[in-house]
Amino acid sequence: MEFLTEYGLFLAKTVTIVVAIGVIVGLVFSAGQRHKKTDKGHIEVNKLNEKFEHMRDVLKEATLDSEQLKTLMKEEKKREKAERSEKKKAAKLAAKAKPESTTDEADASAKATDKKRVFVLDFHGDIKASACDNLREEISAVLSLATATDEVVVKLESGGGMVHSYGLAASQLARISNKKIPLTVCVDKVAASGGYMMACVADKIIAAPFAVLGSIGVIAQLPNFHKLLKKNNIDYEMFTAGEYKRTVTMFGENTDKGREKFKEDLEDTHVLFKEFVSEHRPQVDIAKVATGEVWFGRRAMEVNLVDGLHTSDEYLLTQADNADIYEVSYSFKKSLPEKLGIAAQGAVDRLLLTWWERLNYNRWF
């Protein structure tokens, strides 16, 4: 019995070591192959109207008796037939209208045949705004087809991160606005700091009542091990060319001059952030909101950080009757080692993000 117990412990340790080695190998391989993808990815499109209709049909079948269901189906067929008839009439009017015609009749017929399209994108941001790689491809695909009569809805969730990464992500969204295509950002949980920098580009920001928004501020922190190294008689040497090539360091001795310059850089970044928000949301009192504070959805409405209080599901369902809704996503095919590496990296990111949120309430990193 003792032998079996010892053997079981040995086997458990062995399995643990093998799994750990596998994860490490996956991480290393993933890092090495990150820039060697042969498959550049592809666009996937799902029509959400069909999903909503399927959900409704399933619920009808479960709650209505056979007679009620038959009556309802007849009514829906009549309505669909009437809609098809209207579309045919509108198409005939459009065909009769001359190409150069600018009459009200031609405009009306064109509008009747062109149903509004809503393109839905998802952005789940980490500290590095890694999802920007997919976002840029999704936006490029949508812009190849969308017109000013359509709408782009971005379901955004991010507590912020690196300045340059989120600056790029916000610039990607600005491509939509620059094309005069209506852009709506929906925030169900959080769009703070860099996340709000992205959101403020939109023509309209919709948030859930208790979503977290704001945190218009900048933060940076780093440990300094100089005293520990000095205590153990370890020298740390750093060579630079340029007075402010390195202002503060983790291992060297930081000076008051270096700290002051670093703070100046943070303040300048904050000024740029405030100017960016003011440019895109002039209705905001920037002096009041650019304090690094966060607001829940209802309070954010009071200070003009958002334009409406709805969940993304509610907003899209209200559009479903009058528009074709398409969910657009860009995805890569990943090998098994890459999947293992991404899974391990995701676990680390979630752990760091949870720790960071508890300490800093989604401030910039």
**Active-site choice (109, 165, 193, 215):** 193
% of the chain surpassing 70 pLDDT: 72
Which has the closest alpha carbon to 162: 247, 95, 219?
Answer: 219
| CA distances, 167 to each of 198, 216, 237, 266, 320 (Å) | 8, 13, 34, 15, 32
For residue 343, is pLDDT > 50? yes
Q: What band does 21 get if pLDDT is binned at 50, 70 and 90?
A: low
User: What pLDDT is stored for residue 72 in this prediction?
Assistant: 72
245 is catalytic: yes
Long-range Cβ contact pairs of 129-136 (< 8 A, separation 24 or more): 129/158, 129/161, 129/162, 129/165, 129/166, 129/168, 129/169, 129/194, 131/169, 132/165, 132/168, 132/169, 132/172, 134/41, 134/329, 134/330, 134/331, 135/169, 135/172, 135/173, 135/330, 136/172
Segment 105-111 mean pLDDT: 43
More confident residue, 3 or 182: 182
Residue 336 CB neighbour total at 10 angstroms: 9
Which has the closest alpha carbon to 243: 257, 233, 229?
Answer: 257
User: What pLDDT is stored for residue 60 in this prediction?
Assistant: 74
CB 181 within 8 A of CB 149: no
pLDDT digits (tens, 9 = 90+) for 148-178: 999 999 999 999 999 999 999 999 999 999 9
| CA distances, 319 to each of 51, 152, 236 (Å) | 14, 12, 62
For residue 242, is pLDDT > 60? yes
Segment 192-199 mean pLDDT: 96
Q: What is the pTM of this model?
A: 0.73
Distance of alpha carbon 210 from alpha carbon 189, whole angstroms: 7
Distance of alpha carbon 193 from alpha carbon 179, whole angstroms: 25
More confident residue, 93 or 270: 270
Q: What band does 110 get if pLDDT is binned at 50, 70 and 90?
A: very low
**Active-site choice (36, 98, 231, 245):** 245
Segment 179-203 mean pLDDT: 97
Name the residue with tokens 């670093």: 262
Return mean pLDDT, the chain.
82
Distance of alpha carbon 185 from alpha carbon 306, whole angstroms: 10
Which has the closest alpha carbon to 145: 326, 313, 270?
Answer: 326
User: What pLDDT is stored for residue 67 in this prediction?
Assistant: 78
SS3 324: strand
For residue 221, is pLDDT > 80? yes
CA angle 120, 117, 201 (to 5 degrees): 50
More confident residue, 168 or 345: 168
User: What pLDDT is stored for residue 351 in this prediction?
Assistant: 62
For residue 108, is pLDDT > 60? no
User: What pLDDT is stored for residue 109 in this prediction?
Assistant: 40
Q: What band does 107 get if pLDDT is binned at 50, 70 and 90?
A: very low
For residues 265-290, one letter each, b for 16 or more C-beta atoms within 10 angstroms of the residue's C-beta and e for the rest, the string is: ebeebbeebbebbbebbeebeeeebb
193 is catalytic: yes
Tell the burial category of 254 from Cβ atoms under 10 Å away from its Cβ (0-12, 13-18, 19+): middle
Please state the separation of Cα 41 from the chain's center in Å.
19
More confident residue, 91 or 316: 316
For the chain, what are the domain ranges? 50-114
| CA-based end-to-end distance of the chain | 54
Segment 131-144 mean pLDDT: 96
Segment 286-307 mean pLDDT: 96
More confident residue, 126 or 111: 126
State the amino acid at position 76 in one-letter form: E
